[in-house]
A and B are shown apart, each in its own frame.
Chain A
Amino acid sequence: GAVVSQHPSWVICKSGTSVKIECRSLDFQATTMFWYRQFPKQSLMLMATSNEGSKATYEQGVEKDKFLINHASLTLSTLTVTSAHPEDSSFYICSAKELAGRYNEQFFGPGTRLTVL
């Protein structure tokens, strides 16, 4: 149980284009989903927190107009990187908190490798 999927697993795009990444909780309902960014050999950096049906809360320094987050249902959140540039190349990971879950347990997706040329 508690499986989170991400799609795509990797994407290569040209500079200036937009890329959408999907995060789904497959076997549970998620009240809250999180988006992280991870650079090579570094820890996870929280970008934003989203609750179903409401606006995402962005961490300081994260451009909300560049990283658009939509949490349309209790099982789906999307991250759109708008007008992507090479510096946006990174490993993006989502996680989800179960609606009926205990404590603050977060279940992570497998990640999406974004490469912007």
Chain B
Amino acid sequence: QQQVKQSPQSLIVQKGGISIINCAYENTAFDYFPWYQQFPGKGPALLIAIRPDVSEKKEGRFTISFNKSAKQFSLHIMDSQPGDSATYFCAASITGANNLFFGTGTRLTVIP
């Protein structure tokens, strides 16, 4: 059973455009929602994370929007660049528990 559902599976965006990746969850006990960026042949790197007490968090060109009532959160990449081409994973966890539940990943391609 997939605890975190992620869409789309792949995404192609023009340079300068906005990339949007969506995730949804069912477990209301989740209280930590990170996004990871992974380049081919490399491990995932933490990009940005949010807790449910805020509805939005912005770091540079990356923004997480969080909708607690809908149990959804999304990653927005503004002014997308070819260097952003990677696979993005959303995840969710419960503070105090160990497991991170990952989404299935979104392969983003930014074309020049």
Contacts and interface: CB of A to CB of B under 8 A. Distances in A.
Interface of A: 4, 6, 32, 34, 41-44, 46, 49, 91, 93, 95, 97, 103-111, 113
B94 A104 contact: yes
Interface residues of B, number: 25
A35 B105 CA distance: 18
29 contacts: A32-B98, A41-B105, A41-B107, A42-B105, A43-B89, A43-B102, A43-B103, A43-B104, A43-B105, A44-B44, A44-B102, A49-B98, A93-B43, A93-B44, A95-B43, A97-B98, A103-B95, A104-B94, A104-B97, A104-B98, A104-B100, A105-B32, A105-B34, A105-B46, A108-B36, A108-B43, A110-B42, A111-B41, A111-B43
Interface of B: 31-32, 34, 36, 41-46, 49, 51, 89, 93-95, 97-100, 102-105, 107
Nearest to A51: B98
Contacts of B34: 105
Given A108-B43, A109-B43, A113-B41, A44 B89 contact: yes
